[in-house]
């Protein structure tokens, strides 16, 4: 199941050449890389965070980090996998920051004596698939997203996540029954 | 729900379209980061000399390691062979053989004399004289030997042990 694809396939220039040109201060080459991969990274960021605002934070952050560290990119790895790795780290940072903000918000609410109003979270997923994915632990969700949505092999997903191929296989193995149960339950409810 | 159904269900996840304004902002921020990126950190042709030197050093280290391992293996083989042959010599060579040639001749002469004496004593019966150990000593009691003289047809093997047994002389 392959859902993400580079935005523009019209250009015949491969990624390695574009990166090499961008490393030599070719502004157009960098812009071409951005155009080619923004949608892919945005989709990945949304699936990994299940939050549209989160995806709009993670995707630019990924390209900013990629631009800053462009000189360190080596052509032994594919540029796409390199971007996935940066996006994964940005997603983890985003989750950590959100958890920190949640704790802070809870502390403020607890110390507040006055009335509180519940503000509905518009960004919360209403999709049952998104709800099921959100119920998964972060590592399992990232493994499912990389393998099922982005079409990476377990080995490639392991390189992106910074773990062994067997760990990815184990994550998928653990995530599948949980997803099946959650989705079946939600299907029965609807 | 089987795996195929799970994949189909997962594929129904809808992704909200990327906001064009947000995309434009992202491009601007990325371009600013690109323009201001630290340069010369890993430019392909920079530090080429250093990288080549490091590669040479790594190669040299690898070669040294291989040579050291080979040398250690060779030394171990030589030592093993030496110990093996030494053990064989210790196990099989008679102790008398360790003497000087003149001592060996003397011992041979003594053995020959003893063999002749034993041959005379057990005439026609002596099959073999087997000597073991060093310092041959033969104390024969003529009376006892006469009393225990076997029948002429009986084959006889006499074993002479070098060294005096306890209780004699």
Q: How far apart are CA B80 and CA B144, in angstroms?
A: 53
Q: Which residues of chain B have pLDDT under 70?
A: 40-57, 59, 92-101, 126-169
Average pLDDT over residues A137-160: 92
Closest approach of A128 to chain B, Cα-based (Å): 8
Question: Which pLDDT score, from 0 to 100, does residue A168 have?
Answer: 93
State whether ipTM is beyond 0.90: no
Q: How far apart are CA B52 and CA A16, in angstroms?
A: 22
Question: Residues of B with CB below 8 A from A130's CB?
Answer: 13
Question: Which pLDDT score, from 0 to 100, does residue B2 have?
Answer: 80
Tens-digit pLDDT profile for residues A117-144: 655 554 555 588 888 998 999 999 999 9
Average pLDDT over residues A22-29: 91
Question: Which pLDDT score, from 0 to 100, does residue B46 have?
Answer: 45
CB of A49 within 8 A of CB of A28?
Answer: no
Which of A41, A67, A83, A127 has the most B C-beta neighbours within 10 Å, making it the best mutation to test the interface with B? A67
Q: Tally Cβ neighbours within 10 Å of residue A164.
A: 13
Interface contact A82, partner B, CB < 8 A? no
Question: Which pLDDT score, from 0 to 100, does residue A93 have?
Answer: 93
Helix, strand, coil fractions of chain B, as percent rounded to 5: 60, 10, 30
Interface contact flag, B12 A129, Cβ < 8 Å = yes
Interface contact A64, partner B, CB < 8 A? yes
Question: Residues of A with CB below 8 A from B13's CB?
Answer: 47, 127, 129-130, 133, 149
- B6 → chain A, closest CA residue: A180
Closest approach of B72 to chain A, Cα-based (Å): 36
Q: Tally Cβ neighbours within 10 Å of residue A139.
A: 17
The more confidently predicted of residues A101 and B129 is A101
Interface contact A34, partner B, CB < 8 A? yes
Nearest to B43 among A27, A39, A71 (CB): A71
Question: Which pLDDT score, from 0 to 100, does residue B31 have?
Answer: 92
Interface contact B4, partner A, CB < 8 A? no
Helix (H) or strand (E) holding B161: strand B156-161
Question: Which pLDDT score, from 0 to 100, does residue A86 have?
Answer: 94
Tokens of A78: 């594919």
CB of A31 within 8 A of CB of B34?
Answer: no
Question: Which pLDDT score, from 0 to 100, does residue A5 have?
Answer: 46
Beta-carbon pairs below 8 A across chains A and B: 102
Which of A30, A73, A182, A187 has the most B C-beta neighbours within 10 Å, making it the best mutation to test the interface with B? A30
User: Long-range contacts for B142-147 (Cβ within 8 Å, ≥24 apart)?
Assistant: B145/B121
**In percent, how much of chain A has pLDDT > 70?**
86
Cα distance between the two ends of chain B = 102
Residue A164: pLDDT above 50? Answer: yes
Out of A64-73, A81-90, A150-159, B105-114, pick the least confident. B105-114
The length of chain B in residues reads 169
Tens-digit pLDDT profile for residues A28-75: 999 999 999 999 999 999 999 999 899 999 999 999 999 999 988 887
B residues 44-63 near A, CB within 8 Å?
A: 44
Question: Which pLDDT score, from 0 to 100, does residue B169 have?
Answer: 44
Residue B154 — left, alpha, or beta (φ > 0 → left; ψ -120 to 50 → alpha)? beta
Q: How far apart are CA B13 and CA A186, in angstroms?
A: 14
DSSP state of A125: -
Average pLDDT, chain A: 85
Interface contact flag, B18 A63, Cβ < 8 Å = no
Question: Residues of A with CB below 8 A from B26's CB?
Answer: 38, 56, 59-60, 63
Question: Which pLDDT score, from 0 to 100, does residue A74 have?
Answer: 82
């Amino acid at each position: 199941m392959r859902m993400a694809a580079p935005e523009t396939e019209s250009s015949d220039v491969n990624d390695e050449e574009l990166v090499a040109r961008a490393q030599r201060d070719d502004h157009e080459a960098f812009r071409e890389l951005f155009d080619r991969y923004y949608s892919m990274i945005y989709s990945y960021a949304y699936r990994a965070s299940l939050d549209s605002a989160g995806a709009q934070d993670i995707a630019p952050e990924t390209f900013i980090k990629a631009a800053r560290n462009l000189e360190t990119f080596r052509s032994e790895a594919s540029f796409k996998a390199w971007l996935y790795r940066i996006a994964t780290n940005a997603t983890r940072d985003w989750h950590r920051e959100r958890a920190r903000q949640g704790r802070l918000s809870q502390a403020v609410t607890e110390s507040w004596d006055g009335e509180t109003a519940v503000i509905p979270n518009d960004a919360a997923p209403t999709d049952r698939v998104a709800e099921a994915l959100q119920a998964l632990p972060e590592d399992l969700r990232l493994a499912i997203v990389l393998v099922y949505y982005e079409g990476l092999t377990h080995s490639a997903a392991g390189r992106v996540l910074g773990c062994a191929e067997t760990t990815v296989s184990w994550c998928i193995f653990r995530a599948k029954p949980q997803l099946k149960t959650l989705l079946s339950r939600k299907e029965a409810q609807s | 729900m089987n795996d195929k159904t799970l994949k189909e269900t997962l594929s129904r996840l809808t992704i909200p379209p990327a906001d064009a304004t947000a995309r434009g902002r992202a491009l601007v921020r990325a371009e600013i980061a690109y323009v201001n990126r630290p340069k010369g950190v890993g430019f392909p042709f920079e530090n080429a000399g250093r990288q080549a030197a490091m590669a040479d050093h790594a190669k040299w280290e690898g070669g040294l390691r291989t040579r050291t391992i080979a040398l250690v293996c060779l030394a171990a083989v030589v030592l093993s062979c030496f110990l093996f042959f030494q053990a064989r010599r210790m196990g099989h060579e008679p102790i008398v053989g360790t003497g000087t040639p003149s001592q060996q001749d003397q011992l041979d002469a003594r053995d020959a004399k003893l063999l002749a004496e034993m041959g005379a004593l057990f005439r026609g019966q002596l099959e073999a004289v087997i000597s073991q150990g060093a310092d041959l000593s033969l104390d024969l009691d003529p009376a006892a030997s006469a009393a225990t003289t076997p029948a002429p047809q009986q084959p006889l093997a006499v074993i002479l042990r070098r060294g005096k047994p306890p209780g004699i002389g």
